[in-house]
Structure 1
């Protein structure tokens, strides 16, 4: 690292503030301020190191005024770290984005809570935000491998099926024939009726379809488009009217 002056253009202000810094590489500079240490992207203008808050981004920071920022999470794991500790931390970090092999939509295991969560955003230092809004440092989660993902999907499918059956649905696979639509599952093979509402699983959602849509929608190859898909329906119980019903 090389000591340098850093000229910081402050957001929504009309002046440039000079601060001390350390050049990490040709893309990143460590800025030393009164409240902490921050790694920024930067540009060189007229031989000066310029950090423009409207253009550049924070990659990693230890800001004593805001330790809850995503960029702070990994550094905050060391809590109360000294300046030499933080420099040592930076030396072990390659100065760029941490490739954790994750993307939004992937699943991770939260080590401390024992939860399986879906990733909403991956931050440059490897910390993540989950869809539940939790910020996790790289050391706080475990990336699920392929076998674990298959197990999670099977478990989620089983739990969802159990919940749907408890709510009165029958769950199974759609079978579409020339004049009939069936749902085959643990309950056996049930012929559906034109008045039944059919819901086809689509990821974590269900698409509600009419009997005719299932019966008469075809793929480009001419095969029933919904045949073989997992679906559910809630049986409608038709009770014959009696003389007592007409007296009401």
Structure 2
């Protein structure tokens, strides 16, 4: 699933089919490279230059099992990636550049595929609950600013109204002083006129072994409404998730 704020994927108010096809290509490409294991909430040292360098995006790993829904802060993300994890389930990685929500979550653990995806950004900040012990050295070597709870405890809070492990939330303003801006969003996505020979579509579904995402074009909202596992995907404020 990909949402790029402010980047229209329609022409003349009609769907071009690009959004759904792109979502399918991205999600299918993420099926490999996942590292299974329990969250490791032990404190870790921050990257040596965690506060150095020019502004870059904030990436947050977000829980996506039924017990973690509805999520908070996804509507503010510029890009949301879906990644397959163990058991055929999925987790989300939300990327923030143009604005930072007050709260994001529930936050869960990192996977090796996160590092592959984040390589397209200029040393992004990665917020996650922990990682499998074999993955920690790879995170330390990667070009990311790793900020799990052990390195930024004041940025994370527990929601007493939710059961663990679906109750850890991030306050992005405690990690970044402000949103880095659109220039930090170096995804490489470019959109223009639809190529010749295409076929307009109003709906598309991406399937995993234990998860399903459906994108349905809304002429009124001029965006793709998202459903997860056959149900409308919403945030904690009741807003429907949508892809531009």
Alignment TM-score > 0.5, same fold: no
Larger radius of gyration: 1
The TM-score range, normalised by the shorter chain, is: under 0.3
Give the structure with the higher percent strand.
1
